């Protein structure tokens, strides 16, 4: 059970890890793009049927989604804002999944990053710092805290053989308790009646010029090409990919697989922790008891639909954010439950996973 995900070299995964399958032929490339598009279309059709069953015209619902996102200045700005944490956490997942390290604990690392970053920038003696060093150190602290939290799950696997899927998720619940404690007592604003941290004030991220989107979006978009270069050109990225191919090949070359597991867990945790602080400093302005809104889980979808590729992750995150923003408006205007977005995106993932397996089966002819 310990490394179920990683130790099955004799039976390669479905085409799920697209592009690192045994045959990255042109057929593979086509299915890499065809499968997610088909999955999105199929999920939107099912979503439309659900909307119709609920008694609303599906076409007007989807038209409202498009209108909310593309008409007016607000929609695109809001979409970029909503996509920011998804891009960051999704990038981390995509790197880890490439090494076939299936962490699902991004939500916990996100919370721990937000808590640590907020604790830092609201601490006495530090909160009076000028904006720039305050913002930068806050983000660094958050990334380090997220990396450490994620590293624990990695270490539990490399040291004790505890399955990362399960341990990383257990740590999400522990992080939730840490959040409750932090806003209730740990870093609570003494002047606030409800459990809250102090407002971040000078540590808040500035807006991007001409938009209502915060600078976190620029950070996320800046990290996309960096992640792409790391995976495609850097030695570390190559080792991550090689681990996904065949973990034993690395051992044969005296590169410790354990180090790769720890490396990807730390990277994923740092990005998720960063996301937590970016969201707090960019959107909410302070940390509250309801800070856990599920970005860490939605980002799993983003990573998978984005084919574990940084650019794909950015596209998938923007698409998912657009759907979310659009459906919020659809709920207001047409009374279609906004939680339908969750169903549609989860369906996309299910269809992608199954589509990959079918494509793989067809290619191997068995």
Partner 1 sequence: MDVLLKIATLEAAIRLSIPVALAALGALISERTGVLNLGLEGMMLSGAFAGYMANEVTGSPWVGLLAGIVVGCGFGALLALAVVTIRANQVVTGIAFTLLASSGTTYLFQLKYSIGQKPPRVDRLGMPPLVAMTLVCVFALWFLFQRTTIGLAMAATGESPEAADALGYRVVRLRWIAATIGGGLAGLGGAALTCGPLGLFIRDVTAGRGWVALALVVFAGWRPGMAVAGAFLFGLCDASQLRLQGTKTDIPYEVFLALPYLVTLAALVLRARASKTPGALAVPFVRGVH
Torsion-angle region of 210 (φ positive above 0: left; ψ -120 to 50: alpha; else: beta): left
Task: Pick the closer one to partner 1 by CB: 80 or 111.
Answer: 111
Cα–Cα distance, 192 to 196 (Å, whole number): 7
Report in angstroms how near the CB of residue 14 gets to partner 1 at its nearest.
5
Q: How far is CA 133 from CA 128, 140, 261, in A?
A: 11, 10, 32
Cα–Cα distance, 251 to 239 (Å, whole number): 11
Task: Pick the closer one to partner 1 by CB: 134 or 169.
Answer: 169
Report in angstroms how near the CB of residue 21 gets to partner 1 at its nearest.
12
Which of 8, 57, 248, 256 lies at the binding interface for partner 1 (CB under 8 A)?
Answer: 8
Cα–Cα distance, 359 to 133 (Å, whole number): 50
Binding mask 238-267 for partner 1 (x = CB under 8 A): ------------------------------
Report in angstroms how near the CB of residue 84 gets to partner 1 at its nearest.
21
Which of 95, 240, 287, 300 lies at the binding interface for partner 1 (CB under 8 A)?
Answer: 300
Task: Pick the closer one to partner 1 by CB: 261 or 341.
Answer: 341
Question: The tokens of 364 are what?
Answer: 């191997």
Report in angstroms how near the CB of residue 164 gets to partner 1 at its nearest.
10
Cα–Cα distance, 112 to 138 (Å, whole number): 13
Considering only residues 183 to 222 of the shown chain, the ones binding partner 1 according to CB under 8 A are 184-185
Phi, psi of 207, deg, nearest 5: -80, 150
Residue with tokens 């032929």: 25
Task: Tell me the number of residues near partner 1 by CB under 8 A.
Answer: 58
Task: Pick the closer one to partner 1 by CB: 53 or 252.
Answer: 53
Task: Pick the closer one to partner 1 by CB: 244 or 322.
Answer: 244
Q: How far is CA 302 from CA 189, 266, 294, 315, in A?
A: 34, 19, 13, 9
Residue 259: how many other CB atoms lie within 10 Å: 14
Report in angstroms how near the CB of residue 345 gets to partner 1 at its nearest.
7
Q: Please say whether the beta carbons of 196 and 287 come within 8 A.
A: yes
Task: Pick the closer one to partner 1 by CB: 88 or 340.
Answer: 340
Task: Pick the closer one to partner 1 by CB: 251 or 335.
Answer: 335
Cα–Cα distance, 304 to 94 (Å, whole number): 7
Applying CB under 8 A, does 353 fall inside the site for partner 1? yes
The dihedral through the CA atoms of 353, 354, 355, 359 has a sign that is positive
Which of 250, 304, 317, 320 lies at the binding interface for partner 1 (CB under 8 A)?
Answer: 304
Q: Please say whether the beta carbons of 196 and 188 come within 8 A.
A: yes
Comparing CA positions, the residue from 141, 127, 132 lying closest to residue 198 is 127
Report in angstroms how near the CB of residue 336 gets to partner 1 at its nearest.
10
Applying CB under 8 A, does 109 fall inside the site for partner 1? no
Binding segment for partner 1 among 72-80, 83-91, 227-235, 346-354 (CB under 8 A)? 346-354
Instruction: Please measure the distance between the N-terminal and C-terminal CA atoms of the chain and give it in whole angstroms.
Output: 27
Run of H or E residues at 142: helix 131-160
The dihedral through the CA atoms of 185, 186, 192, 197 has a sign that is negative
Considering only residues 140 to 179 of the shown chain, the ones binding partner 1 according to CB under 8 A are 156, 160-163, 165-167, 169-174, 176-178
DSSP letter at 185?
A: I
Applying CB under 8 A, does 358 fall inside the site for partner 1? yes
Applying CB under 8 A, does 334 fall inside the site for partner 1? no
Binding mask 40-79 for partner 1 (x = CB under 8 A): ----------x---x-------------------------
In the complex, the residues that contact partner 1 under the rule CB under 8 A are: 1-2, 4-5, 8, 10-11, 13-14, 16, 50, 54, 102, 104, 156, 160-163, 165-167, 169-174, 176-178, 180-181, 184-185, 297, 300-301, 304, 337, 339-343, 345-347, 349-350, 353-354, 356-358, 360-361, 366
């Amino acid at each position: 059970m310990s490394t179920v995900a990683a130790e099955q070299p004799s039976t390669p995964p479905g085409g799920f890890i697209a592009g690192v399958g045994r045959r990255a032929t042109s057929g593979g490339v086509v299915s890499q793009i065809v499968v997610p598009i088909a999955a999105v279309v199929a999920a939107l059709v099912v979503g439309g049927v659900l909307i119709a069953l609920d008694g609303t015209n599906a076409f007007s619902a989807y038209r409202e989604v498009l209108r909310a996102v593309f008409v007016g200045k607000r929609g695109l700005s809001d979409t970029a804002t909503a996509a920011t944490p998804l891009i960051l956490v999704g990038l981390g997942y995509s790197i880890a999944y490439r090494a076939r390290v299936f962490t699902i604990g991004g939500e916990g690392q996100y919370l721990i990053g937000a808590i640590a970053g907020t604790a830092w920038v609201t601490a006495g003696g530090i909160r009076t710092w000028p904006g720039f060093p305050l913002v930068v150190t806050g983000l660094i602290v958050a990334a380090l805290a997220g990396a450490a939290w994620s590293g624990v799950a990695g270490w539990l696997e490399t040291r004790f053989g505890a399955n990362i899927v399960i341990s990383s998720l257990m740590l999400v619940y522990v992080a939730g308790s840490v959040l409750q404690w932090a806003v209730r007592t740990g870093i609570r604003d003494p002047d606030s009646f409800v459990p809250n941290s102090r407002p971040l004030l000078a540590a808040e991220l500035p807006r991007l010029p001409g938009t209502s989107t915060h600078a976190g979006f620029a950070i996320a978009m800046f990290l996309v090409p960096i992640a792409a270069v790391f995976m495609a050109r850097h030695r570390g990225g190559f080792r991550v990919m090689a681990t996904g191919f065949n973990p034993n090949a690395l051992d044969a070359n005296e590169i410790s697989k354990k180090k790769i597991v720890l490396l990807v867990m730390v990277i994923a945790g740092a990005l998720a922790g960063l996301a937590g602080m970016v969201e707090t400093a960019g959107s909410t302005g302070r940390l509250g008891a309801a800070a856990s809104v599920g970005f860490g889980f939605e980002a799993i979808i983003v990573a998978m639909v984005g084919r574990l590729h940084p650019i794909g992750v950015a596209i998938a995150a923007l698409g998912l954010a657009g759907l979310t923003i659009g459906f919020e408006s659809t709920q207001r205007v047409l009374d279609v439950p906004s939680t339908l977005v969750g169903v549609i995106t989860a369906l996309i993932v299910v269809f992608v996973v199954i589509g990959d397996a079918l494509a793989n089966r067809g290619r191997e002819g068995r």
